[in-house]
A = this chain, B = another copy of it.
Amino acid sequence: MALDRDQVVDAAWHILRSYGLGDLSMRRLARELGVQPGALYWHVANKQELLSVLAQRMVAPLTGSGGSPAQIIGAFREMVLAVRDGADVVSVAHALDPEGMQPAPLLTSALVRSGRDPQDAATTALTLVRFALGAVTAQQTRESMDLPTATMAAEFEAGVRAILA
């Protein structure tokens, strides 16, 4: 039975969650799947493409979930924070498609529903996402070095309140 793309992505997902981005090499992934490194390039174009797929998977549960802007950006933070080096992976995907990648479109429509005009809603959504990615990047860097992060959830909430005020 031949390898397929889903098996590659699933194995990559498992390594990322369990050991972090530092351990997610194409060679390590190939070893885990019992193939030669070159075999992976039949199923994915390169490592970057693989990481994009993992970023989509990380924020997938968000799509379709309602809530206020504060709830949406809070849920986004939780999902990214739950995956080791999640912020690094999602940041690239956000940069490639800032308006299309979740949670931006979800936030924009929630902000319009709450009474903002579309222009302001779109910009505020970008501000929230970039702040969240900056905050989670800082927290995950500290976690990877066993530094304390006790105040960072409150700092995040305060930042979101300031942006939405």
Using a CB–CB cutoff of 8 Å, the interface residues on chain A facing chain B are 91-92, 94-96, 98, 123-124, 126-127, 129-135, 137-139, 141-142, 145, 147, 155, 158-159, 162-163, 165
Contacts of A130 in B (CB 8 A): 131, 134-135, 137-138, 159
Residues B163 and A123 in contact, CB atoms below 8 Å apart: no
Identical copies of this chain, number: 2
Task: Kindly list 18 other residue pairs between chains A and B, CB separation below 8 angstroms, not including A96-B141, A96-B142.
Answer: A91-B137, A91-B138, A91-B141, A95-B141, A95-B142, A95-B147, A96-B147, A123-B155, A123-B159, A124-B162, A127-B155, A127-B158, A129-B134, A130-B135, A130-B138, A133-B138, A134-B134, A159-B163
Main secondary structure of the interface of A (DSSP, over half): helix
